Amino acid sequence: MSNKINRLPAVIDKTGLSRSSIYLRMSKGEFPQSISLGARAIGWLEADIEQWLDEKIAASKSIQSKG
């Protein structure tokens, strides 16, 4: 498991989601939680983002194969 930390611009680039969508999904428990890096800095574990993306891809393929 990778312990690499991605900051918000990298997460936005990797997921294609906007900043507000990321925070909204986090609040609903639909996106990995950020971790505190200091008083004014947060990031996301790269492995958590990759897992989330893998789950979204698998769910999308499952829906497509049923339809």
pLDDT tops 80 at residue 66: no
Angle at 14 between CA 9 and CA 18, to 5 degrees: 60
- The mean predicted confidence, pLDDT, of the chain is 93
What pLDDT, on a 0 to 100 scale, did the predictor assign at position 64? 73
Is 80 exceeded by the pLDDT of residue 54?
A: yes
Instruction: Please give the angle made by the CA atoms of 12, 66 and 53, to the nearest 5 degrees.
Output: 20
Instruction: Give how many domains the chain has, as a whole number.
Output: 1
Helix ranges (H only) for the chain are: 8-15, 19-27, 46-66
Q: Inform me whether the pLDDT recorded for 61 exceeds 90.
A: no
pLDDT for position 2: 58
Q: In this structure, what token pair is assigned to residue 34?
A: 């950020």
- The parent domain of residue 60 ranges over 5-66
Cβ count near 33 (within 10 Å): 11
- Please give the model's pTM, rounded to 2 decimal places: 0.87
